[in-house]
Amino acid sequence: MSESAKIEKKWQKQWEKDRIFEVDPDPNRKKFFLTVPYPYPNGALHMGHGRTYTVGDLIARYKRMQGFNVLYPMASHITGTPIFGMVDRVKRGDEDAIEQYRRDLRVYLDSEEEVNAQVKKFTDPWATVLFFTETISADFKALGYSIDWRRKFTTGDDIYNRFITWQYQKLMDSGYIQKGAHPLLYCPNCGNPVGEDDIKEGNTAKVKEFTSLKYPFEDGFLVAATLRPETTFGITNLWINPTAKYVKADVNGELWIVSSTAAEKLKLQAKEVKILDTFPGSKIVGKSCQTIHDGRNIPILPADFVDVDNATGVVYSVPGHAPFDYIALRDLWEDPTELQAYGISADDVRGIDVVIMIEIEGGSEFLTKDVVEKLGVSSQKDKEKLEEATQEVYKAEFYEGVMMDNCGPFSGRQVSGVKDDIIKWLKSENRGDVFYEPDERPVVCKCGTDVQVAVLAGQWFLDYESPGWKDKAWDALKMMGIIPENFRIMFESTFDWLAQRPCARRRGIGTPLPFDPEWIIEALSDSTIYMAFYTIAHKINQNKLKPEQLTLSFFDYVFLGKGKAEKVAQETEVSSDILNSMRDEFLYWYPNDQRHTAPSHISNHLSFAIFHHAAIFPKKHWIQCISLNEHMNMEGGKMSKSKGNTLPLGEMPKKYGADVFRTYAVSAAEPGSIMDWRERDVPAVRNRIRQFSEIMKKYSTKTPKIYRKKDKPTGITRWILSRVNSIVQECTDYMDNFRIRDYAITVMSEMIRTVNHYVNRTEVSKEERDGTMAYVCDRWVRLIAPMTPHVSEEFWSKMNQDGYVSLADWPKADKKLIDPSAEMAHTVVESTVRDIREIVKLLKDKKASAVHIYVAPEWMFQAMNSIRTKEISLIVGDIMKHLMSNPDFRTHGKQVKGIVDRIAKENGLWDHSMNAKEEMAVLKDSATYISSEIGMDVTIHDAAKPDYDPQNKARFALPGRVSLLLE
RNA sequence: GCGGGAGUAGCCAAGACCGGUCAAAGGCGGAGGACUUAAGAUCCUCUCUCGUAGGAGUCCAGGGGUUCAAGUCCCCUCUCCCGCACCA
């Protein structure tokens, strides 16, 4: 085991032994309650998960050092089918799945025998949950997360089920839960709704809603389905595939003619279907039916393009607006011979008038015809071009079209807004219905059966559109902090479209619906307010409360303060002391001050959490803030177990070290953007931690001394004291604003550079350097501790500090030590060195051995300062006028012009010392340093009266921009 | 389709809200130097082009515009990524 691994283990054990992250309410301290969503233990977590939890821990540790009583808890989410799915695969002997688990297991188990023995246990769901729950918490501990583990639970625990039971009873009481029919993808063979995991092919398929139109025919209806019901005003005929199988069926008491496959689908879509007769399409071709809007008789014509497996297999024809229909009709006009078999004369067909019922202002009169001709569609078999034409016509007519005056009550309306009203009208006339299809084909279940859309009656759903609910949720969102703020708009659009959502399934782990126990509350619906459960979970366990004691009035009292403790105690046999301590603990920790996770949860989990909090808790207990960080990629590609381009999270501390992983996870990208894990960048992170360690090793145990002005320290000591305190301030600001990457870069790279520069300056005495550096180390170890807690803890203990750095005070910037003139001086010296180097480079092989530095005359400093304090606009004339009005400057007229030109060119003023004397002192102070940097003798001159200036360089000197002569 | 986002030097990635201090932080990669018997590690310097004096030129997907001034603001175009529900 490496040295750093030993250190990490050592401190993790110490923390656990001293229970420093186990927190209880302390009325004397401000609290901070941070949550990150609990993981799903259906396998080992991978490194990508580590980013979010690490950021969470960084925040927890920062807040803790700031003096907050911080609660950062964790649990396990096991609701739903994934665990079952996994158990099934192992039982079935699915080699791919088993191999994947073996890979996970090898991280935790030493021998192949143990691995295989454990895989066998995965046939038991609870053994599986238990195993991965343990490994995940071991992973989290190995990464140094400051979690209060006493409060852990799983969502399959009895006590959790009681909590969710209470939640759903509350939602029911508020009228937010309803029962109804809802379309979903369904496998007729398995008899179950299918989720993404159950689909073999086409797993992005969604439910698409068609409007079915019932055209009166004989004693019933020919039922056509469409996505554009508004076009029924342009109907000229119906299309039937003459060779396909159709049925006449009793559908909910009406006689419908649809294709045979459509009849089967209708059965799944909550219709009572009795098939009365089966016949080929040819049987009805040639007959006529009536239109809906004006009751005209229109013919039923044959068409090959009609696909009876799509929708109802009956198509109504709108040649004016649908390229398919237009072409099919045109084909018949050109060759009507086929029609004779159905007793339709050529004249009948040629007599069909195309109806135009949508117009586009300034557009073509017969857009469909134009588009078809433009694309050169040859016949109805030319499917690709017809699709293209359909898209083009639809797009144009939908966005720009207006219903013409042959559209009854809808005349004059925009096409884009009329669809819903047309559907309403059709339904009110009993001529409209809905028909569902998947929006893509094929969609195949893992069992090999075609997936259909089913409308299951008795489905329970959360109605996010229930009166009042959304308003409350909006209120909650408005008062909530969202960081980064640009994610707020994603919440807003989610809130807009959130409507009814089924909340229970027939299978899986979870809590039965209290009012219909056949149904299990599904995973995203039982994880919305559980942050509240953390506040009491450990007390339920410590006091050995039984699930049946956790009644509705128990939770009502603890979470809502309803009822009297004595009465609830009587009912539940939980003593009122215990009840009150739970109530107090809940009141202490709640609300959840910050919830941190990935943006992919915005459209579901996070929005649900906001809604459910708004539904159940009073305003003061709503979530205060949501922070987000994006996912992690691996070497430029998306991480996924199946791709094999991922490492188990448990591997990270072993392979790289916890502090290294944490630093990478915080610093490699902004929270809002995707992070790329690049193996070859890891050594750089490790090196920086090592550099930090080296410096700490050397100086942290010295006796700190702060050299204040009265101690007359060297300029560079004043500089580092100023820099370090500025950095303390910057880091605090960064952390407060969730700019964690800037924090990481500043506290690592910037600090290392600063400190290295300081310790390399030879003009500082050993005593002064040691004392200063010991002070710097004390600031630094605290600043860096939230990110690299283990190595920080190690040095903290070596510094003979009390307790843990994890619990130490976050440093405050010592404003008295922040010294702009010291930092300015440093800038002047550094830019001087840079200038000399540049000249040296240009001199090429000509060697210089001495440099003369000329500091600008005092009046120039005064001139610069007078412009600065005047805050006049940077227009040449104005500055000129301002300076020339002062006789002290006017005597240097020509050089004043030079300064002003330079200001104009630079678009402003630049940094320099306060006056010539100071700039001179600074450079003299740093002369040995400059000399050692460039390997030349250094002489400093006053440009006003240079004692040596053979090339007349002195006149070019400006404040902060010394003039140089190299010899 | 609806909604969100991105395009910055060899690569990764800040800067954009709030225009000037931006040839553009930081890292990787590359070059040179210090240290070292050597390798490695570490530290320092350089890394758009031109330039024998600290300067100049060109640049932030492409095109146009606003402005004294644009990576940053506005418009258009191109390319890429993500979410859209019953799935955790």
String of DSSP letters for A461-481: EEETTSTTHHHHHHHHHHHSE
Distance of CA A698 to the CA centre of its chain: 42
Looking at the domain assignment, is residue A953 inside a domain? Answer: yes
Task: Measuring from the CA of residue A485 to each C1' atom, give the nucleotide at the shortest distance.
Answer: B17
Give yes or no: residues A814 and A725 share one domain: yes
Strand order in the sheet with A850-855: A937-942, A850-855, A963-966
**What is the arithmetic mean of pLDDT over A1-25?**
93
Q: Where residue A344 sits, what CATH number does that domain have? A: 3.90.740.10
Bases along strand B below 7 A from a protein CB: 1, 3-5, 12-15, 20-21, 25-29, 41-46, 51-54, 56, 82-88
Give yes or no: residues A260 and A220 share one domain: yes
The total of structural domains in chain A comes to: 4
What per-residue confidence (pLDDT) applies to A390? 79
Looking at the domain assignment, is residue A775 inside a domain? Answer: yes
Residue A865 pLDDT grade (very low, low, confident, very high; cuts 50, 70, 90): confident
pLDDT value at A416 more than 90: no
pLDDT value at A503 more than 80: yes
Vertex A93, ends A88 and A99: CA angle to 5°?
100
Last residue of a domain, one of A438, A467, A497: A438
Percent of chain A at pLDDT > 90 equals 41
Give yes or no: residues A701 and A736 share one domain: yes
Looking at the domain assignment, is residue A174 inside a domain? Answer: no
**What is the arithmetic mean of pLDDT over A247-260?**
94
Residues in chain A: 967
What per-residue confidence (pLDDT) applies to A448? 72
The amino acid that residue A703 corresponds to is: T
What per-residue confidence (pLDDT) applies to A644? 66
**What is the arithmetic mean of pLDDT over A266-291?**
92
What per-residue confidence (pLDDT) applies to A881? 74
**What is the arithmetic mean of pLDDT over A847-860?**
83
pLDDT value at A464 more than 60: yes
Give yes or no: residues A654 and A732 share one domain: no
Residue A376 pLDDT grade (very low, low, confident, very high; cuts 50, 70, 90): confident
Q: Determine the protein residue whose CA lies at the shortest distance from the C1' of B88.
A: A523
The amino acid that residue A18 corresponds to is: D
Percent of chain A at pLDDT > 70 equals 95
**What is the arithmetic mean of pLDDT over A673-699?**
86
Tokens for A169, please give them.
């009873």
Looking at the domain assignment, is residue A592 inside a domain? Answer: no
Q: What is the ipTM of this complex?
A: 0.82
Looking at the domain assignment, is residue A789 inside a domain? Answer: yes
Vertex A272, ends A268 and A276: CA angle to 5°?
110
Does the C-beta of A954 come within 7 A of strand B?
A: no
Please write the tens of the pLDDT for every residue from A731-759: 998 899 888 988 998 898 888 888 888 88
User: Burial of A868 by CB count in 10 Å (0-12 exposed, 13-18 middle, 19+ buried)?
Assistant: exposed
Does the C-beta of A967 come within 7 A of strand B?
A: yes
Give yes or no: residues A753 and A863 share one domain: no
Distance of CA A189 to the CA centre of its chain: 37
What is d(CA A311, CA A436) in angstroms, rounded to the nearest whole number?
8
8 A C-beta contact, residue A649 and residue A46: yes
Name which residue leads in pLDDT, A63 or A843. A63
What is d(CA A915, CA A922) in angstroms, rounded to the nearest whole number?
11
Query: In chain A, which residues from 882 to 921 place their CB closer than 7 Å to nucleic acid strand B?
Result: 905, 907-908, 910
Looking at the domain assignment, is residue A734 inside a domain? Answer: yes
pLDDT value at A552 more than 90: yes
Give yes or no: residues A694 and A716 share one domain: yes
Give yes or no: residues A382 and A286 share one domain: yes
Query: In chain A, which residues from 465 to 494 place their CB closer than 7 Å to nucleic acid strand B?
Result: 486, 489-490, 493
Which long-range contacts link A877-885 to residues 24+ away (Cβ below 8 Å)? A879/A903, A879/A904
What per-residue confidence (pLDDT) applies to A202? 65
Strand order in the sheet with A594-597: A69-71, A31-35, A594-597, A625-628, A481-483
A511 by DSSP, 3-state: which? coil
Looking at the domain assignment, is residue A871 inside a domain? Answer: yes
Give yes or no: residues A358 and A405 share one domain: yes
8 A C-beta contact, residue A11 and residue A653: no
CB atoms within 10 A of CB A548: 10
Q: In terms of DSSP bridges, do strands A481-483 and A625-628 run parallel, antiparallel, or are they unpaired? A: parallel
Last residue of a domain, one of A438, A468, A503: A438
* Lookup result for tokens 């920790």: A589
What per-residue confidence (pLDDT) applies to A424? 86
Q: In terms of DSSP bridges, do strands A500-502 and A237-240 run parallel, antiparallel, or are they unpaired? A: unpaired
**What is the arithmetic mean of pLDDT over A389-407?**
78
Domain that holds residue A106: 35-145+630-677
pLDDT value at A418 more than 70: yes
Does the C-beta of A41 come within 7 A of strand B?
A: no
Residue A848 pLDDT grade (very low, low, confident, very high; cuts 50, 70, 90): confident
Does the C-beta of A505 come within 7 A of strand B?
A: yes
Q: Which of A27-36, A396-405, A538-547, A620-629 is the least confident region?
A: A396-405
Last residue of a domain, one of A751, A784, A818: A818
Give yes or no: residues A120 and A264 share one domain: no
What is d(CA A99, CA A90) in angstroms, rounded to the nearest whole number?
10
**What is the arithmetic mean of pLDDT over A6-26?**
96
Give yes or no: residues A234 and A346 share one domain: yes
**What is the arithmetic mean of pLDDT over A89-97?**
83
What per-residue confidence (pLDDT) applies to A670? 82
**What is the arithmetic mean of pLDDT over A778-797?**
94
Residue A939 pLDDT grade (very low, low, confident, very high; cuts 50, 70, 90): confident
Give yes or no: residues A798 and A875 share one domain: no
Of the candidates A63, A45, A80, A40, the residue with the CA atom closest to the CA atom of residue A627: A63
A92 by DSSP, 3-state: which? helix
Mean pLDDT, chain A, integer: 87
What per-residue confidence (pLDDT) applies to A953? 79
8 A C-beta contact, residue A203 and residue A185: no
8 A C-beta contact, residue A336 and residue A343: no
What per-residue confidence (pLDDT) applies to A185? 79
What per-residue confidence (pLDDT) applies to A198? 63
Best mean pLDDT range from A25-34, A108-117, A518-527, A679-688? A25-34
Give yes or no: residues A738 and A877 share one domain: no
Looking at the domain assignment, is residue A157 inside a domain? Answer: no
Q: Where residue A701 sits, what CATH number does that domain have? A: 1.10.730.10
